[in-house]
Structure 1
Amino acid sequence: MQSGVYHKRLMSELRQIQSSTLSNVHLKTYEGLDTWVITIHGAEKTLYAGEEFTLRLKFPSNYPFEAPEAIFVDKVPVHPHVYSNGHICLSILYQQWSPALTAQTLCLSILSMLSSCVTKERPTGDLNYVTVARSPKDAIWNFDGKSLGDKSARINAWIN
């Protein structure tokens, strides 16, 4: 069951993102309060300029104390931190999440991650990861750039 904090916070964030003047991040649709679909437009003068991506945010019942699940759907950007199944390797989605962050700041962080990319390529171990990964929340992410493991598959690590 969702708490009053969950409902109040998501209603506030929904209003914030709906009224936002950001040119690269737009709320496309939402299904209740727990699932939002966001359109992210690649920033000008970046590798992703002119491209459009769809991001699905699923909010857990203990949001904002736990990060939403963020997955690219439909067209998945080719990026060193984005797996071909749409899972995103970004610390604020996991260990570095803070209740001070919002859906909008999360989307801006993902846009920034895309904008700072210098080469379009998949992460090392992409095929192995997408073969076993069901949810990014089930993965054990290591942000030192050396390994990534998935608990459900009992795979300890892939080394870069």
Structure 2
Amino acid sequence: MSTSTPPQKTLSRIAANRLQKELSEWQINPPAGFKHKVTDNLQRWIIEVHGAPGTLYSGELYQLQVDFPENYPMEAPQVIFIQSPPLHPHIYSNGHICLDILYDSWSPAMTVSSICISILSMLSSATQKARPPDNDRYVRNCRNGRSPKETRWWFHDDKV
């Protein structure tokens, strides 16, 4: 799986200040089950996700890549699983995540921590480990590095 993304513009001053603040808060009080892997790139965070105890993903470890747009938090970051994405009905084999807060329901009040908590909640509520029914077609259509933000998602499953 490639972790390349289209070239991004430099973060605005507002975005950089907001991310510095979020990173400082994260270092003091990280969300349970997550660890930020320290890099020198404020615009791309790599986050370790530990499956919650008592769930299908208990004891499993995954990685999220969070890429921030120049006008964050007015625009949602791009969040994908890298390396081996979990088997989940809302996570495609290319790492793209079908979760409304990453797209249509994004709010500038949300933070990286709130995104992580939502993703862990989505994983924890799964009743089976399976790819989305349209995984192969979707992944085929995403060749050449298409961003999940270019997808017109249809959010219809409120069970997971």
Classify the secondary structure of the residue corresponding to 2:73: coil
Question: CA offset at residue 28 of structure 1?
Answer: 1.4
Query: Structure 1 vs Structure 2: percent identity of aligned residues?
Result: 48
Quick one: distance in 2 between partners of 1:23 and 1:105? Answer: 11
Quick one: distance in 2 between partners of 1:29 and 1:88? Answer: 23
Aligned to 1:29: 38
Q: Is structure 2 residue 141 aligned with structure 1 residue 141?
A: no
Question: CA offset at residue 21 of structure 1?
Answer: 4.5
Classify the secondary structure of the residue corresponding to 1:97: coil
Quick one: distance in 2 between partners of 1:91 and 1:21? Answer: 23
Superposed CA RMSD in Å reads: 1.2
Question: CA offset at residue 124 of structure 1?
Answer: 1.2
Query: With structure 2 as the length reference, what TM-score do the two structures score?
Result: 0.87
Amino acid at match of 2:69: P
Aligned to 2:140: 131
Classify the secondary structure of the residue corresponding to 1:10: helix
> How many aligned positions are there?
145
Q: Which string of whole-angstrom CA distances, capped at 9 and with x for unpartnered residues, describes residues 86-128 of structure 1?
A: 0000000000000000001101110110001000010011000
Quick one: distance in 2 between partners of 1:74 and 1:29? Answer: 18
Question: CA offset at residue 144 of structure 1?
Answer: 2.0
Q: Is structure 2 residue 68 aligned with structure 1 residue 59?
A: yes
| Equivalences for residues 49-88 of structure 1 within 5 A | 49-88=58-97
Classify the secondary structure of the residue corresponding to 1:130: helix
Segments of 4+ moved more than 4 angstroms: none
Classify the secondary structure of the residue corresponding to 1:38: strand
Quick one: distance in 2 between partners of 1:39 and 1:12? Answer: 20
- Whether the 8 Å CA contact 1:78–1:122 is kept in 2: the answer is yes
**RCO comparison, higher one (Cα < 8 Å, 6+):** 2
Quick one: distance in 2 between partners of 1:59 and 1:136? Answer: 13
Quick one: distance in 2 between partners of 1:30 and 1:78? Answer: 27
Q: Which string of whole-angstrom CA distances, capped at 9 and with x for unpartnered residues, describes residues 69-98 of structure 1?
A: 000001210000000000000000000000
Amino acid at match of 1:104: S
Question: CA offset at residue 4 of structure 1?
Answer: 1.9
Quick one: distance in 2 between partners of 1:136 and 1:127? Answer: 15
Query: With structure 1 as the length reference, what TM-score do the two structures score?
Result: 0.87
Amino acid at match of 1:74: Q
Point out where structure 1 has 5 or more consecutive residues left out of the alignment.
Answer: 146-160
Quick one: distance in 1 between partners of 2:63 and 2:149? Answer: 19
Higher strand share: 1
Q: 2:24 aligns with which of 15, 21, 31?
A: 15
Quick one: distance in 2 between partners of 1:110 and 1:30? Answer: 22
